[in-house]
Structure 1
Amino acid sequence: MEFLKVLSVVAFLASFCDALYYRTDTPCDFTGVSIDDEVLSRLITRLPEGLESGPEGLYMLFPGFEVGRQTFHGLSKLQKFGPTIPYCANGTRMVQADFFSDDDTHFWSPWKTCSGDEGRVVVRARFTRFTLQFRVVDSSALGVKLEFHRALPVTVQGVRLEVEGAGRVVRGVFEVLSMLLPSFVEELWMGQFFQNLHEGFHSMNEENAFM
């Protein structure tokens, strides 16, 4: 009996894995559609760098300490993680793949104190993994057109907040904040990361170019 249970589980997993890959007898026809690592790599390298968000100028974070708008770097350096998976969703041809970022991806804001000291607050994560999903808009001899659908978080590790140009007191304040409020720093990172990722891809959707 136990052996039959094992066989049934193996059969289910095999059918599930097989369903992850496209077949031409599904409602979506992937005939002639070629989406390999090179296609997705070209897509990633077109993501804009130096995306800015937030109000213009400096604003008070707490008494005596002001910060400016955020600048995000490293989207074009995202790296692929695992296989590319084509699939069908309600009759629409889709493709998804996991990606990750490392220390090269970060965002920063300028800061200034009432005493005139200034520098940068930098937030980065050692490892951020996420899933990107795209619609297959068109396919021809020129290539394939992909339209960004959404990004789904998978995991994040080693989020840290760094203060550049600060004296011992200011660095100490931020080090304490990072230790006492790790979930806050992680939420700050994830919020900015996915906001800029969406903005970068949506600006590319408007171009609608072949890969």
Structure 2
Amino acid sequence: MYIRRKNRSQSNMAFVKLLAAAVLMALAVAAGAFSTRGGKCDTPDIDLDGEVDKLLEKLPKAHPLGIRQGFSSVFAGLEIGDVTVTGMNKIERSGPVVPYCKNGSSIVQADLINPAAVQFTMPWKTCGGQKGNIHLSADLSRFTLDLSVANEESSGKYLSMGDDFSPVPVMTYNVNFVVEGLGRPGNIASGVLSKLFPSVFLEVWMQAFFWSLRGVLDSALQQNNEVF
């Protein structure tokens, strides 16, 4: 009985130590992410939530992925067209933004959500006359975005992507791959492929989504850089 209680006590102690270590790691990461390394910085006393929302409102409803080239042959008898991304204008802010300092620079971190709105579409056609579209979307995706906040007396206050702009994916749920134009068999086949190779379509989605996001954000900031 004593041995059993001792083993149970040791197991509980190990579990508590594990939790304590996890808490310490979380605190260390949080402190590192939101510390004022490189000195203090002056964050403008403005409505950062509202200004990030204004920036998101500038994102386009539709945007080409890359340079428009028209249809091109990929296999004998099969051609694909330009890829278009739609729904970027539906990206939403989730919760309040977090201002912090990094190396003396003022940064604002925003938690953003794509509520099943963003979709990539690519047309296809065959020499036999068949045609349709390929669609790639996700039921839900969430990511964080860090934007630089500059405070310049002469030209105003500006948001920018900064030199080390890199969105951080948090969660992507259920990437869907659909081939239209082949009838019911094509819909079934594309659905099966989505389930059999989820990691492949997830990787394609992530690369296309964040590449497009960088492009539309850059365009939105250039349209009207003074968002405050």
Q: What are the Cα deviations for residues 151-188 of structure 1, in whole angstroms up to 9, with x where unaligned?
A: 11111011001122322444344334323322111111
Give the distance between the partners of 1:186 and 1:73, measured in 2 at CA. Answer: 18
Name the CA shift for 1:67/1:170 in 2 (closer, same or farther; >3 Å).
farther
Q: Name the aligned partner's letter for residue 66 of structure 1.
A: E
Q: Structure 1 residues 11 and 66, CA, compared in 2 at 3 Å: closer, same or farther?
A: closer
Q: Which residue of 2 aligns with 1:104?
A: 117
Specify which of 48, 51, 58 is matched with residue 46 of structure 1: 58
Cα separation, 2, equivalents of 1:206 and 1:186: 30
Tell me what 2:205 maps to.
Answer: 189
Q: 2:194 matched to which residue of 1?
A: 178
1:75 equivalent among 88, 96, 106: 88
Residues in 1 aligned to 2:213 and 2:89: alpha-carbon distance in whole angstroms: 10
The question of 1:155 aligning with 2:171 is answered yes
Q: Which shifted more, 151-160 or 48-57?
A: 48-57
What's the CA shift string for 1:69-106, capped at 9, x where partnerless? 11011111111123311111111111101101022211
TM-score by structure 2 length? 0.75
Structure number with the higher strand fraction is 1
Counterpart residue identity of residue 214, structure 2: H
Is the partner of 1:165 in helix, strand or coil? Answer: coil
CA distance in 1: counterparts of 2:106 and 2:220, whole angstroms: 19
Query: Which residue of 2 is the match for residue 145 of structure 1?
Result: 158
Mapped to 2, the partners of 1:53 and 1:12 lie a distance apart of: 39
- Following TM superposition, where does structure 1 have runs of at least 4 consecutive aligned residues deviating by more than 4 angstroms? 9-23
Residue type of the partner of 1:53?
Answer: L
Take 1:151 and 1:18, find their aligned partners in 2: how far apart are those partners? 20
Greater percentage in helix: 2
**144 and 181 in structure 1: CA distance in 2 versus 1, 3 angstrom threshold:** same
Distance 1:143 1:157, change over 3 A: farther
Provide the residue aligned with 2:140 in structure 1: 127
How far residue 125 of structure 1 moved from its aligned partner, in angstroms, is 0.2
TM-score, normalised by the number of residues in structure 1: 0.80
1:103–1:127 Cα contact (<8 Å) kept: yes
Give the 3 Å change call, closer, same or farther, for CA 12–180 of structure 1 in structure 2: closer
Give 1:22 deviation, angstroms.
8.8
In structure 2, do the counterparts of structure 1 residues 179 and 210 end up closer, same or farther at CA, with 3 Å as the change threshold? closer
Q: How many residues align?
A: 204
User: Is 1:209 aligned with 2:226?
Assistant: yes
| Unaligned runs of at least 5 residues, structure 1 | none
CA RMSD of aligned residues (A): 3.2
1:60 equivalent in alignment to 2:73? yes
Rg larger in 1 or in 2? Answer: 2
Greater CA deviation, 193-202 or 143-152?
143-152
Work out whether residues 55 and 227 of structure 2, in 8 Å CA contact, stay in contact via their aligned partners in 1.
no
Contact map agreement 1:33 1:144 (CA 8 A) in 2? no
CA distance in 2, matches of 1:75, 1:146: 19
Unaligned stretches of 5+ in structure 2? 1-12
Q: Give aligned-pair identity as a percent.
A: 33
